Amino acid sequence: MTSLKAGVIGLGNMGGGVARNLAAAGYETGVWDVSKEAIMKFRNIENTYVLSPGEMAAQGATLFYVVPATREIEETLEGEQGVLAQAAEGTVVFDLTTSFPEDTKRVVELADKHGVKYLDAAMSGGATGADSGSLTLMIGGDKNVYESSRPMLNAIAKSIFYLGESGAGHAMKLIHNMVVHTIFLTNCEAGIMAEAAGISLADMVEVFNNSNARSYSSEFRFPKHILSEKWDARSRVYNLNKDLGMAVKMAESMNIDARYAKETLQFLNRAIDNGMAEKDYSLLYPEFDKIRNSN
């Protein structure tokens, strides 16, 4: 095996696409996941090698974490066989999760003590963007490391924004998701109103997309996943709930009254209480009234 250049930890809907695009760009890429089934999908993909995160770090690879949150990252960083203990000189970590900025800053300090550069690189674009290598990345951390890593980042992202110190990328992602999820549920509410008024959902979406009410939700999510009745947005209700919870927490830490985010979070809490945590979030639309009217 030639010297490893990249490593991807987490091979789900997002991480799988990230790993495939790095390998396709010619980077020798380590892959790892807690799921053996996810790992098996990479057994015959050129330029990929199944290695533990610690083994990847021992080769000084640039590691991309595509896992739920900081806690899962920390589990692989610590211990004698972990990333920090094994890291060779030049090891860099890009944290692609949606995480709380203060948690990110804490991990950055820990990594720095071991000579590992750790940058937050929050991503947007969904599984489709990960598959096509057209993600948007929001970067916080060491600017020199970011600039030297641009060629590799270009293999997985179309738009990359450097936003400042550690935590800035994750802060931006929480603000971004707060808006995206709130708009999605506003469109759900609008669709219920339109249908009650005798207007088809498809007509409402078409009007929105040709007027000032258009959004990513109306232009992409509703046509692709709701009007199509495929219900395959490829993200769980749990994920939306987690994101809004952190956004509200961040707002409260700044003494900001994020009331629209709070209303959205309350709705998602009710969806969770209705057993929808693991459901595709496009299913929030047909269940909207049931969730809204639940206690």
Domain ranges of the chain: 6-165, 171-292
pLDDT score at 1: 45
What distance in Å separates the CA atoms of residue 246 and residue 213, rounded to the nearest whole number? 27
Between CA 201 and CA 206 the distance in angstroms is 9
Query: How many Å apart are CA 9 and CA 124, to the nearest integer?
Result: 18
E-strand ranges in the chain read 6-9, 29-32, 48-50, 62-65, 92-95, 117-124, 135-140, 157-164
Which CATH superfamily hosts domain 6-165?
A: NAD(P)-binding Rossmann-like Domain (3.40.50.720)
Cβ proximity of 183 and 217 under 8 Å: yes
Residues 6 or more apart from 252 whose CB is under 8 A from it?
258
Q: Hey, which CATH number is domain 171-292, 3.40.50.1820, 3.40.430.10, 1.10.1040.10, 3.30.470.20?
A: 1.10.1040.10
* Tens digits of pLDDT across the chain (295 residues): 458 999 999 999 999 999 999 999 999 999 999 999 999 999 999 999 999 999 999 999 999 999 999 999 999 999 999 999 999 999 999 999 999 999 999 999 999 999 999 999 999 999 999 999 999 999 999 999 999 999 999 999 999 999 999 999 999 999 999 999 999 999 999 999 999 999 999 999 999 999 999 999 999 999 999 999 999 998 999 999 999 999 999 999 999 999 999 999 999 999 999 999 999 999 999 999 999 998 7
What are the CB-based long-range contacts (under 8 Å, 24+) for 212-217? 215/183, 215/187, 216/180, 216/183, 217/180, 217/183, 217/184, 217/187
Strands 48-50 and 29-32: parallel
For 30-83, the pLDDT digits (tens) are 999 999 999 999 999 999 999 999 999 999 999 999 999 999 999 999 999 999
Tokens read off for 76: 């692989």
Helices (H), 69-136: 70-77, 83-86, 101-113, 126-132
Distances in whole angstroms, Cα of residue 82 to Cα of each of 23, 113, 114, 236: 23, 14, 12, 29
How far is Cα 96 from Cα 77, in angstroms, rounded to an integer? 15
